[in-house]
Structure 1
Amino acid sequence: MTGHISAGARRWAEVLQLLAEVVPTGPAGVIVDGMDAHRGVVADRLAATLRAAGRSCVRLSRDAPPADRDGWRADGAVAVADGPHRRARPPADGWTVVVWLRTAPPAAGNGADGGGDRSGGAHVVVDLHDPDWPVIRHVDAALTDRDRWYLAESRAFFAARAATWDARFGHDQAAYAAAVTESGLPIGGTVLDAGCGTGRVLPALRAAVGATGTVVGLDVTPQMLAVARTPAAAAAAGLLLADARRLPFAAAAVDAIFAAGLIMHLPDINAGLRELARVTRPGGRLVPFHPSGRAAVAARHGRALRPGEPLAEGPLRITAVRTGWRLIRHDDPPHRFLAVARRDA
C-alpha cells in the first residue's frame, strides 16, 4: 500500500510540474474544469506548485468579487480558478490555459461528476479515470513541444493498465486474427506489430507469414512488453522497446506493419505515417485496425462521430497519399475498423 501511495504521489507531482511549466510567463489566467470532485483540489495544488517554482500566484475563489477578477494582472501574477462558473466569466484577455479533467463517459455512471469527453476548447486534458494516477492526454502545441510530454505520459497511461488489459479486452482475439487473415500479409515476409501492447496479435501474424517469416512486436511501455513475453515466445516473435515515431529499423526493412489502435495515439499523424512508410518496402502494407468501429469507440467516449476525423475514409485517403501510402481498403462496421494501405514505390 505504501509503495502504491508513493508511486501515485510521484505521478501527481510529475503532472503538476508539467502543468506549471506550460503556463506562459507574465500574467496568465488558468482555469481547471471538468470533474466536480477534483477540480478544486487540482487548482489548489497547481497554485502551490506555481508558487514553489517562484511564480506569483493568486487562487481565485468562487466568491471573489468581480472587481478582483483582473487585479492580479498588474503584478504579472498567475490567477488559478476552477469550475464552469468561473470558466463562463473569463478575465479581460480570456483564459490563457484551460485544463480539463476527464473521467469515464456519462454512460459509465460518472455524468454527475463532469465525466465524459466534453473537453472541447481545453488547452490541456488530464485523464482522471484513476484519481490516484493522473495522465496528461493532450497539450496544445502552442504551450509546449510534444516531445516534452508525449512519451512519458503515454507510458504512464498504459503502464497502469498493462496487468489488466487482456482481462478487459482479451475477448476480441478472434477479431484480431480475422483482420490479419484479410490483410494479405506475405508468406515469408517481415511483419512489424507497431504498438503491440500485450502481444495479442503476434500468434496470428506468425501464422500469416509462416515459419520462414519474421515477426517483431514493438511498444513504448515496458509493462506492456512484460505481459507480451508469453505470446511472443509462443509465436517465436521478437520484442522491442521503442517509439513508433522513431523506429529502430533501416529504410525499407519490413514487408508489412500491423497497427492496432496506434494511429490515433500518434500526436502527429502525418509524421507518424511517414516514419512507418520509411521502414516499409515498396508495395508493402500498413494495416490500421481496431476491434470496434469508429462509431462504437466514439459512443464509448461520450461523443458524436465527426466526418472529418483522421480515420474517416476521405481524410485517411488524403493523408495516406501525402505520407507515401495508397489506401486500398477501408472497412468500418460497428464491430471493427480495418484499413489497408499499400506503400508507394
Structure 2
Amino acid sequence: MKTTNKIAIAMIIVTIIAFAAPASAYFTTQTIETKAERIVDIAAEAQERVTDIVAAVEANATAMLQITDAELTDEFYGNLSLCVQAGTMVNGEAASADGEGWTYLNEAQLALQAGEYEEAIEYAREALEIFRDALRSIHVILCEADVEFGQILDPQILQEAIDRSQDRITELRALLKDTELLDKLDDAEDWLTDAQDQLDLEEIEAAKESLREANALISEVCQDLKQIAQELNPGRIKGYLDEAYQYRERFRERFGNAWNEEIDVDKFLQAAGYQNEEEFMTQFQEMINKAQDSENIDEAIQNLQDIGQMIQKMDSDLTQEFGRHRGGQGQDMPGKGNGFGNMGGGNSP
C-alpha cells in the first residue's frame, strides 16, 4: 500500500508538471505555427525534466545505492538513454546512439525551423509520449527501490513550478495594460518571491503554500483574459475599428479647428513624438490596419489596446492645449472625444 500511494502521488506530480497550461493556452484562436511552436517547447521541457530528475537522483548516494540494491540500475538508466543524444554520459558511459525520444524531438525542431508545422506537431507528440513514459517509469523505479524521493524531487519540482509561474507572469504582462489585472500580477510575483525565499531556506511546505497563492492569482488573470478573448468576436472587433476610423477623422477636424485658432498643431504634435499632422494621421492609419490584419486574439487585444491608449492620450493632451490657448478656460469645440470603447483602460482591453 505504501508503494501504491507513492506511485499515485508521483503520478499526480508528473501530471501537474507535464500538463500545466501556459498563458497562451487560454486563447483558443491560434495559428498552426503557434501550436507547433508551443508543443515543440513542451516536448523540449519534458526532455529536460527527465535529465534533471536523473541528475538529482544521481546526486543522492543513498538513493543510487537503493536502486542498485533493488537491481533496477539498468531500467533507471534505460529511461535516460531514450531521451538523450549520442555521446551523452549515461551511467558513466557515452551513449552510442541517439535515443528515440531525442530523435523525434530533433526532427520536430528541424521541421519547425523549415516551416513544416504539421510535421513538427506530429514529431513533437511522439517525443512527448516517450518523455512522459520515461518520467512515469522513473517514478515507479524510485518507488520500487523504496527511495524517499520527496526529499530529492520536491525542491526541484518546486523550483521548476516557481520558474514556470514566473514565465507565465512575463507572458501575461506582455498582453496586459489593464491596471487592475497588472496589480494582480504584482501580487502574484510577490508570492513567488516569498516562495523562492522559503525554498532557499528549505521551508518546503511554506514555499508550496506561497506558490499556491501565486498560481491562484495567475489563474484569475488568465480567466479574465479568457473572458476578454471570448467577448472579442469579429463583430466586436469590427465595431472597435469603425470607432477608431471615426476618431481619426475627429482628430483631423479638431486639428483644423486648432489651426483656425492659431494653435501650431505641428509644434504640439512634435512634443508628442510626431513630426507633423501628416505623420500622426499616417501612423494612426497604420495602427488601424495592423489591428485589422491581426491573425489571433492576443494580437487583436494588444493592437486595440494600443489604439485606445493613443486616442485617450491625444484626446486629453489636445483638450489641455485648447484650454491653455484660451487662457485656461478649458473650453473645447464640439466633437471632443469621450473614450474609445473600453480599449485603453478599465477592466477590458
Q: Say which structure is richer in helix.
A: 2
The normalised TM-score by structure 1 is: 0.28
- Between the two structures, name the one with larger relative contact order (CA 8 Å, sep ≥ 6): 2
The normalised TM-score by structure 2 is: 0.27
Greater CA radius of gyration, 1 or 2? 2
